[in-house]
Structure 1
Amino acid sequence: MTVPASPPYRYDDLSALYVNCTLKRSPEVSNTDGLVERSRSVMEAQGVTTSVVRAVDLDLAPGVWPDMTEHGWAADAWPELYERVMAADILVLCGPIWLGDNSSVTKRVIERLYSCSGLLDDAGQYAYYGRVGGCLITGNEDGVKHCAMNVLYSLQHLGYTVPPGADAGWIGEAGPGPSYLDPGSGGPENDFTNRNTTFMAWNLMHLAGLLKRTGGIPAYGNVRAEWDAGCRPEFANPEHR
Structure 2
Amino acid sequence: MASYGDLKALFVNCTLKRSPEISNTQGLIDRSAHIMTAQGVQVSQLRAVDHDIATGVWPDMTEHGWATDEWPALQRQVMEADILVLAGPIWLGDNSSVTKKVIERLYGNSSILNEHGQYAYYGRIGGCLITGNEDGVKHCAMNVLYSLQHLGYTIPPQADAGWIGEAGPGPSYLDPGSGGPDNDFTNRNTTFMTWNLLHLARMLKDNGGVPAHGNQRSEWDAGCRFDFENPDYR
Does the pair score TM above 0.5?
yes
What is the aligned counterpart of 1:110 among 103, 107, 110?
Answer: 103
What is the alpha-carbon distance in structure 2 between the residues aligned to residue 236 and residue 139 of structure 1? 48
2:197 paired residue number: 204
Alpha-carbon separation, structure 1, partners of 2:104 and 2:137: 20
* In structure 2, C-alpha distance between the alignment counterparts of 1:168 and 1:40, rounded to whole Å: 13
Distance 1:204 1:53 in 2: 19
Q: Give the AA of the match of 1:193.
A: T
String of CA shifts for 1:2-35, please: whole Å, max 9, x gaps. Answer: xxxxx3x100110100000000000000000000
- Superposed counterparts of 1:99-178, under 5 Å: 99-178=92-171
Look up the equivalent residue of 1:110 and give its one-letter code.
I
Kindly state the Cα deviation for residue 183 of structure 1 after the two structures are TM-superposed: 0.5
Q: Amino acid of the residue matched to residue 215 of structure 1? A: G
Map of 1:45 onto structure 2: 38
Deviation at 1:225?
A: 1.3
Measured after TM superposition, the shift of residue 234 of structure 1 is 1.5
Structure 2 unaligned segments of length 5 or more: list them.
none
Question: For residues 81 and 28 of structure 2, what CA distance do their matches in structure 1 show?
Answer: 20
Verify: 1:78 aligned to 2:71, yes or no.
yes
Opposite residue 194 of structure 2, the aligned amino acid is: A
How many angstroms apart in 2 are the aligned matches of 1:119 and 1:217?
A: 16
SS in 2 for 1:75: coil
Q: Please list the CA deviations of residues 84-122 of structure 1 after superposition, one character each: whole Å capped at 9, or x if unmatched.
A: 000000000000000000000000000000000000011
> Within 2, Cα distance between the matches of 1:33 and 1:18?
10
CA distance in 2, matches of 1:229, 1:124: 11
Aligned length: 230
CA-based RMSD of the aligned residues comes to 0.8
1:35 aligns with 2:28: yes
Query: 1:42: how far off?
Result: 0.8
Once the two structures are superposed, residues 155-208 of structure 1 have per-residue CA deviations (whole angstroms, 9 ceiling, x without a partner) of: 000000000010000000111100000001000000000000000000000000
Partner of 1:220: 213
1:66 is aligned to 2:38: no
> 2:49 — aligned with what?
56
Find the aligned partners of 2:228 and 2:193 in 1 and give their Cα distance. Answer: 38
Gaps of 5+ in 1: 1-6
Q: CA deviation at 1:135?
A: 0.1
Residue 4 of structure 2 aligns with which residue? 11
Match of 2:172? 179
Deviation at 1:236, TM superposition (A): 4.1
Q: Percent identity?
A: 77
The AA in structure 2 aligned to 1:69 is T
Q: 1:81: how far off?
A: 0.4
Q: Quick one: which amino acid aligns to residue 16 of structure 1?
A: A
Match of 2:186 in 1: 193
Aligned partner of 1:91 in structure 2 is: 84
Aligned equivalents of 1:225 and 1:163: distance in 2?
26
Partners in 2 of 1:74 and 1:179 — Cα distance?
36
TM-score, with normalisation over the residues of structure 1?
Answer: 0.94
Deviations 1:195-240 (A, max 9, x none): 0000000000000010000000011001111111111011249xxx
